[in-house]
Amino acid sequence: MIDPILHGMRRILLAGILAALAVAAVAAAPAPATAPTPAESAGRVAKVQKDADQFALISGRGSAQVCKAGFESLRRGALRGNAVDQLTLGALYLHGRVCGRFHLARDDHKASLYLAHAAIQGRLLAMPAMAELDVRRGRALEANVWALAYLHYAVPKQQNTGYPASLLHRTLGMLSAAQNKQIVRDTNAFILRYNAGIEAALHQQAQPPTACRPRPVDAHSRVPLLQPFSRIHIAAMHRALVLYLVAYDRDGRVQKLATLFAEPRWRDARRLRRIAEQRRVSAAPACDAALRWAFLPVELDNHKYRISHRG
Give per-residue pLDDT as tens, 27-37.
Answer: 444 444 456 67
Domains in the chain, number: 3
The mean per-residue pLDDT over the stretch 86-103 comes to 95
- Listed residues 78, 98, 121: the one ending a domain: 121
Domain of 233: which CATH number? Answer: 3.30.1150
Count other C-beta atoms under 10 Å from residue 257's C-beta.
Answer: 17
Confidence at residue 238, expressed as pLDDT on a 0 to 100 scale = 67
User: Does residue 31 sit within a domain?
Assistant: no
210 or 56, which is more confident? 56
Confidence at residue 141, expressed as pLDDT on a 0 to 100 scale = 94
Indicate the range of 63-67, 193-197, 244-248, 287-291 predicted with least confidence.
287-291
Indicate the range of 4-8, 105-109, 248-252 predicted with least confidence.
4-8
User: Does residue 3 sit within a domain?
Assistant: no
Burial-class residue 283 by CB neighbours within 10 Å (0-12, 13-18, 19+): middle
The mean per-residue pLDDT over the stretch 86-111 comes to 96
Considering 148-157, 232-241, 274-283, the range whose residues carry the highest mean pLDDT is 274-283
DSSP secondary structure of the chain? -HHHHHHHHHHHHHHHHHHHHHHHHHHHSPPPPPPPPHHHHHHHHHHHHHHHHHHHHHHT-S-HHHHHHHHHHHHHHHHTT-HHHHHHHHHHHHH-EEETTEEE---HHHHHHHHHHHHHTT-TTHHHHHHHHHHHTT-HHHHHHHHHHHHHHHSGGG---HHHHHHHHHHHTT--HHHHHHHHHHHHHHHHHHHHHHHHHHHHHTSPPPTTS--B--S-SEEE-SS---HHHHHHH-EEEEEEEEEE-TTS-EEEEEEEEEES-THHHHHHHHHHHT--B---TT-S-S-EEEEEEEEEETTEEEE----
- Domain with 200, as residue range(s), is 122-207
**Is the confidence at residue 286, as pLDDT, over 80?**
yes
pLDDT band at residue 53 under the 50/70/90 scheme: very high
Examine the domain organization and report whether 110 and 151 are in the same domain.
Answer: no
Examine the domain organization and report whether 77 and 154 are in the same domain.
Answer: no
Examine the domain organization and report whether 52 and 82 are in the same domain.
Answer: yes
Indicate the range of 78-92, 109-123, 203-217, 270-284 predicted with least confidence.
203-217
Confidence at residue 213, expressed as pLDDT on a 0 to 100 scale = 85
**Is the confidence at residue 77, as pLDDT, over 60?**
yes
Indicate the range of 28-42, 73-87, 95-109 predicted with least confidence.
28-42
End-to-end Cα spacing for the chain: 79
Indicate the range of 153-167, 197-211, 253-267, 284-298 predicted with least confidence.
153-167
Examine the domain organization and report whether 109 and 147 are in the same domain.
Answer: no
Q: How, if at all, do strands 254-263 and 292-301 pair?
A: unpaired
Rounded alpha-carbon distances, angstroms, from residue 290 to 47, 247, 255, 282:
12, 9, 10, 14
User: Does residue 71 sit within a domain?
Assistant: yes
Examine the domain organization and report whether 227 and 184 are in the same domain.
Answer: no
**Is the confidence at residue 217, as pLDDT, over 90?**
no
The mean per-residue pLDDT over the stretch 147-175 comes to 83
The mean per-residue pLDDT over the stretch 16-43 comes to 52
Examine the domain organization and report whether 199 and 255 are in the same domain.
Answer: no
For the chain, what is the mean pLDDT?
A: 81
User: Does residue 161 sit within a domain?
Assistant: yes
Confidence at residue 248, expressed as pLDDT on a 0 to 100 scale = 95
pLDDT band at residue 179 under the 50/70/90 scheme: confident
The mean per-residue pLDDT over the stretch 101-107 comes to 95
63 or 210, which is more confident? 63
Pair 99, 57: CB distance under 8 Å = yes
Confidence at residue 106, expressed as pLDDT on a 0 to 100 scale = 96
Confidence at residue 35, expressed as pLDDT on a 0 to 100 scale = 60
Confidence at residue 59, expressed as pLDDT on a 0 to 100 scale = 95
- Listed residues 67, 97, 121: the one ending a domain: 121
User: Does residue 149 sit within a domain?
Assistant: yes
Confidence at residue 54, expressed as pLDDT on a 0 to 100 scale = 95
Ramachandran angles phi, psi of 209, nearest 5°:
-70, 155
